């Protein structure tokens, strides 16, 4: 229990029933989870395969896995009969809710009417499906329906219930789309992200045998960031925990920032109702930040109504003043931020990786990227467009999905038309209509005799050649290592030539670079040698990928869930660019929080409503609290007096949250006072740095 205070140690040791650690930012909640995993294994005889820890983001899961790995390095099991064996850390389940859901669904697919190799579609695919269905080009409308469906799914509402509860014509229409959408996914043997949680929860609720099996497999559960679980996730936890209720949840109601996704704070209260024996532990010492940072965070969040009384103090001393810089526009802000960061780093002899630039929306990142690149400052972007959202990667994923699941019609359409191979839209339409009538997938339809009456030889020939090619790869994908097959796939589809045909040289080169990087990464994932653990459990860790050699099919099955950033070895010394949402649970010595304006943070939708929607402003305030509390040593805020919005330049006001921080007691110096432009100053700094 070294490196734990009394309350933390109590939380780690407590095993008499369900336990909730409710505490503010930086108080060591995540530390409780990692230490408790080690405690269960080293002192209580648990085997890693019986422990599952879930969290929200892939990055947080990766970090947790690393922390646990370090704690257990070189340690041995204490399980009776297995004493002295090396702890098989790779058998621990440390992952996001979604990857836990995938693991369960892959193994129990038959019980929910899926094949084990079902596909996972992402939000974009989901958008297209809905768009196709309502035949509308109004993106706003499609997105509204998409959100509505997602909320229904997360609230465990069936299409029938949704239709029955519809309040107006719009909702009624959405409910009908919902019904058709579910039917379409079934036909494609595909699930969306919401299903990954909803389906296992429904399965556990209805199938006792399966539930028992999983309750027996995962005997202790740990849940980080509990405040952001939604109704579905809560059900899943509850059903997995069962009557034994062996779990520890940790969370902070002031950091609930996913209300818009149906996360509900009521889950915190519900826990107490469902588990009356719940043992609640509070942590009060903050180990992360200086007193100034903590005080600012506390005074912002004090403006929200309190659910639970929490005190937070720090031993780290007052620390540096928090700076506020007003900038002319976003370009000025980026130049100024990077200038101040460079100077700060020079003064403190710090490293690039000690710095994070946090912002509310992804669109704010681009200008920072440009300037960092120009200045040759290494950076990594997180929470932004995932590698998997890039068109070229989605193209290749479509092939991989099709190899994994021939019934995946969206993947079929994308793959068969990219690169073009003489299959036109008229052909696809005929094929689609035929497949719809015959109730088979597009892939299956290609081989049916009856299709010959509908399509000419010239139309059918390229389709069959394509399907033969995919089929050959599928047959081999179960046995052969991924790397060989990936190379063959690349050659077989002439993707490189296609890129150089379709795009200008620079774009093609960059896209091809992404493709190679993606394949390299897949191959690395596919050829890692098995850890000398003990008996194979058949189910793996983390993102659903154990560190074992994987054949292509196994790799393909998890591809949709992964984001490149975590698989790639990151530049070890780089500035982090991140949305506030994606920074949850993480910490950085020095934080630059940019775009602190009304309309950005709090976000526009939340302040323009007349009258202002209190609940949304409160959520924005929690987001601000999360942002401030990421900083360990220093915090720098900036805001723009003007900002470009959809070709217009709008005048901006500083965020109300700056005022709420009560910084004015000792006004910090502002960058405005300096007569030089940020560009000049960057140049002078460079001159200073280069001998």
Ligand X SMILES: Nc1ncnc2c1ncn2[C@@H]1O[C@H](COP(=O)(O)OP(=O)(O)OP(=O)(O)O)[C@@H](O)[C@H]1O
Contacts with Mg ion, residue ranges (CB under 5 A):
29-30, 585
3-state secondary structure 619-655: HHHHHHHHHHCCEEEEEEEEEECEEEECCEEEECCEC
Other Cβ atoms less than 10 A from the Cβ of 66: the count is: 12
* Size of the chain, expressed as the number of residues it contains: 691
Shortest distance in whole angstroms from residue 29 CB to Mg ion: 5
Stretch that binds ligand X, among 23-31, 114-122, 456-464, 534-542 (CB under 6 A): 23-31
Backbone torsions φ then ψ of 577, nearest 5 degrees? -105, 125
Helix (H, G, I), strand (E, B) or coil at 89: helix
Contact between 29 and ligand X per CB under 6 A:
yes
Contact between 585 and ligand X per CB under 6 A:
yes
Per the listing, tokens 């379409």 go with: 184
Residue-wise over 408-440: b if at least 16 C-beta within 10 A, else e? bbbbbbbbbebbebebeeebbebbbebbeeeeb
Contact between 39 and ligand X per CB under 6 A:
no
In the list Mg ion, ligand X, none, the entry touching 252 (Cβ below 5 to 8 angstroms by class) is ligand X
Stretch that binds ligand X, among 22-30, 264-272, 294-302, 680-688 (CB under 6 A): 22-30
Contact between 557 and ligand X per CB under 6 A:
no
Helix (H, G, I), strand (E, B) or coil at 233: helix
Per the listing, tokens 């002192």 go with: 43
Which regions of 67-167 does DSSP assign to beta strands (E)?
Answer: 93-96, 119-120
Active-site residue (options: 30, 62, 418, 541)? 30
In the list Mg ion, ligand X, none, the entry touching 18 (Cβ below 5 to 8 angstroms by class) is none
Tell me the C-alpha distance between 191 and 182, whole Å. 9
Q: Which is nearer to ligand X, 33 or 596 (CB)?
A: 33
Q: Which of 376, 324, 336 is nearest to 573 (CA)?
A: 376
Q: What residues from 400 to 429 belong to the interface with ligand X (CB under 6 A)?
A: none
Active-site residue (options: 103, 255, 337, 537)? 255
In the list Mg ion, ligand X, none, the entry touching 5 (Cβ below 5 to 8 angstroms by class) is ligand X
Active-site residue (options: 225, 395, 407, 409)? 225
Active site residue 295: no
Q: What is the DSSP letter of 10?
A: H
Annotated binding site: 23-30, 288
Shortest distance in whole angstroms from residue 38 CB to ligand X: 14
Contact between 28 and ligand X per CB under 6 A:
yes
Active-site residue (options: 59, 401, 550, 630)? 630
Active site residue 29: yes
Q: What's the burial of 182, exposed, middle or buried (CB within 10 Å: 0-12/13-18/19+)? A: middle
In the list Mg ion, ligand X, none, the entry touching 288 (Cβ below 5 to 8 angstroms by class) is ligand X
Contact between 288 and ligand X per CB under 6 A:
yes
Q: Which is nearer to ligand X, 252 or 335 (CB)?
A: 252
Distances (CA, A) of 556 to 285, 387, 412, 488, 544: 44, 16, 15, 15, 11
Q: Which of 418, 417, 377, 387 is nearest to 516 (CA)?
A: 387
Annotated binding site for ATP: 23-30, 288
Please identify which residue in 14, 127, 287, 313 interacts with ligand X, judged by CB under 6 A. Answer: 287
Stretch that binds ligand X, among 24-32, 45-53, 116-124, 298-306 (CB under 6 A): 24-32
Please identify which residue in 11, 18, 26, 423 interacts with ligand X, judged by CB under 6 A. Answer: 26
Active site residue 225: yes
3-state secondary structure 500-550: HHHCCHHHHHHHHHHHHHHHHHHHHHHHCCCCCCCCCCCCCCCCCCCCCCC
Shortest distance in whole angstroms from residue 88 CB to ligand X: 25
Q: What residues from 234 to 263 belong to the interface with ligand X (CB under 6 A)?
A: 252, 255
Helix (H, G, I), strand (E, B) or coil at 466: helix
Active site residue 690: no
Q: Which of 204, 201, 220 is nearest to 212 (CA)?
A: 204
Residue-wise over 647-675: b if at least 16 C-beta within 10 A, else e? eeeeebebbbbbebbebeeeeeeebeeee
Tell me the C-alpha distance between 72 and 87, whole Å. 7
Shortest distance in whole angstroms from residue 353 CB to ligand X: 15
Please identify which residue in 11, 20, 27, 636 interacts with ligand X, judged by CB under 6 A. Answer: 27
Q: What residues from 624 to 643 belong to the interface with ligand X (CB under 6 A)?
A: 629
Active-site residue (options: 29, 36, 511, 633)? 29
Active site residue 78: no
Enumerate residues 6+ apart whose C-beta is below 8 A from 218: 50, 51, 52, 93, 240
Contact between 159 and ligand X per CB under 6 A:
no
Q: Which is nearer to ligand X, 26 or 533 (CB)?
A: 26
Shortest distance in whole angstroms from residue 345 CB to ligand X: 21
Contact between 30 and ligand X per CB under 6 A:
yes
Shortest distance in whole angstroms from residue 586 CB to ligand X: 7
Active-site residue (options: 224, 392, 598, 619)? 224
Shortest distance in whole angstroms from residue 104 CB to ligand X: 26
Q: Which residue is nearest to ligand X (CB)?
A: 28
Structure tokens at 332: 């000025």
Active site residue 598: no
Helices 139-154 and 231-241 cross at an angle (nearest 10°) of 20
Say whether the peptide bond before residue 611 is cis (omega within 30 degrees of 0). Answer: yes
Stretch that binds ligand X, among 25-33, 351-359, 666-674, 680-688 (CB under 6 A): 25-33
Q: Which is nearer to ligand X, 383 or 567 (CB)?
A: 383
**Count residues contacting ligand X (CB under 6 A)?**
18
Shortest distance in whole angstroms from residue 25 CB to ligand X: 4
Q: Which is nearer to ligand X, 351 or 370 (CB)?
A: 351
Chain residues binding ligand X by CB under 6 A are: 3-5, 8, 25-31, 252, 255, 287-288, 585, 587, 629
Residues taking part in catalysis: 29-30, 224-225, 255, 630
């Amino acid at each position: 229990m070294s490196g734990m205070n009394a309350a933390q140690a109590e939380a780690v040791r407590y095993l008499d029933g369900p336990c909730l650690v409710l505490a503010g930012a930086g108080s060591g909640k995540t530390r409780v989870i990692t230490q408790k995993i080690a405690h269960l294994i080293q002192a209580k005889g648990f085997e890693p395969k019986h422990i599952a820890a879930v969290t929200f983001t892939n990055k947080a899961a990766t970090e947790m896995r690393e922390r646990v790995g370090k704690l257990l390095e070189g340690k041995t099991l204490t399980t009776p009969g297995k004493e002295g064996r090396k702890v098989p850390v790779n058998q621990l389940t440390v992952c996001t809710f979604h990857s836990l859901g995938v693991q369960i669904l892959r193994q129990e697919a038959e019980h929910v009417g899926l094949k084990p190799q079902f596909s996972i579609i992402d939000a974009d695919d989901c958008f297209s499906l809905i768009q196709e269905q309502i035949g509308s080009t109004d993106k706003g409308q499609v997105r509204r329906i998409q959100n509505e469906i997602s909320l229904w799914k997360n609230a465990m509402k069936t299409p029938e219930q949704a239709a029955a509860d519809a309040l107006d014509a719009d909702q009624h229409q959405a409910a009908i789309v919902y019904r058709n959408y579910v039917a379409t996914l079934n036909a494609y043997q595909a699930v969306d992200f919401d299903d990954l949680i909803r389906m296992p929860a429904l399965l556990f609720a209805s199938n006792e045998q399966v539930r028992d099996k999983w309750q027996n497999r995962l005997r202790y559960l740990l849940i980080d960031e509990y405040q952001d679980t939604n109704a579905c996730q809560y059900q899943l936890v509850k059903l997995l925990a069962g009557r034994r209720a062996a779990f520890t949840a940790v969370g902070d109601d002031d950091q609930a920032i996913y209300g818009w996704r149906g996360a509900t704070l009521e889950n915190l209260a519900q826990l107490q109702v469902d588990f009356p024996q719940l043992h609640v532990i509070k942590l009060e010492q903050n180990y992360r930040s200086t007193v100034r940072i903590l005080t600012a965070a506390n005074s912002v969040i004090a403006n929200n109504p309190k659910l639970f009384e929490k005190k937070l103090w720090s031993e780290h001393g007052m620390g540096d003043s928090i700076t506020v810089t007003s900038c002319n526009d976003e370009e000025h802000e980026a130049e100024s931020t990077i200038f101040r960061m460079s100077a700060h780093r020079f003064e403190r002899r710090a490293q690039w990786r000690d710095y994070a630039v946090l912002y509310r929306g992804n669109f704010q990142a681009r200008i920072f990227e440009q300037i960092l690149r120009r200045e040759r400052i290494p950076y990594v972007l997180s929470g932004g467009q995932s590698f998997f959202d890039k068109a070229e990667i989605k193209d290749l994923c479509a092939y991989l999905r099709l190899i994994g699941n021939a019934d995946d019609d969206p993947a079929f359409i994308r793959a068969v038309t990219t690169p073009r191979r003489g299959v036109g839209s008229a052909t696809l339409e005929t094929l689609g209509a035929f497949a719809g009538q015959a109730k088979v997938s597009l892939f299956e339809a290609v081989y049916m005799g009856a299709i010959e009456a509908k399509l000419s030889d010239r139309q059918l020939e390229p389709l069959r050649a394509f399907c033969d090619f995919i089929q050959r790869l599928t047959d081999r994908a179960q046995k052969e290592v991924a790397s060989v097959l990936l190379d063959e796939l690349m050659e077989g589809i002439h993707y490189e030539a296609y890129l150089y045909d379709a795009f200008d040289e620079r774009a093609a080169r960059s896209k091809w670079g992404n493709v190679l990087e993606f394949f390299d990464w897949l191959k690395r994932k596919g050829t890692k040698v098995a850890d000398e653990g003990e008996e194979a459990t058949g189910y793996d860790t983390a993102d659903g990928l154990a560190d074992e050699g994987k054949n292509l099919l196994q790799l393909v099955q998890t591809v949709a869930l992964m984001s490149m950033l975590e698989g790639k070895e990151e530049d070890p010394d780089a500035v982090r660019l991140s949305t506030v949402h994606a920074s949850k649970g993480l910490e950085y010595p020095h934080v630059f929080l940019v775009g602190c304006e009304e309309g950005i943070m709090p976000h526009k939708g939340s302040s323009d409503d007349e009258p202002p929607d209190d609940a949304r402003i409160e959520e924005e305030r929690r987001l601000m609290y999360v942002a401030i509390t990421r900083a360990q040593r220093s915090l720098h805020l900036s805001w723009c007096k003007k900002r470009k919005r959809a070709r217009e330049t709008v005048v901006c006001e500083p965020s109300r949250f700056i005022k709420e921080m009560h910084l004015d007691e000792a006004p910090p110096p502002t960058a405005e006072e300096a007569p030089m432009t940020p560009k000049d100053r960057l140049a002078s700094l460079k001159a200073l740095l280069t001998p």
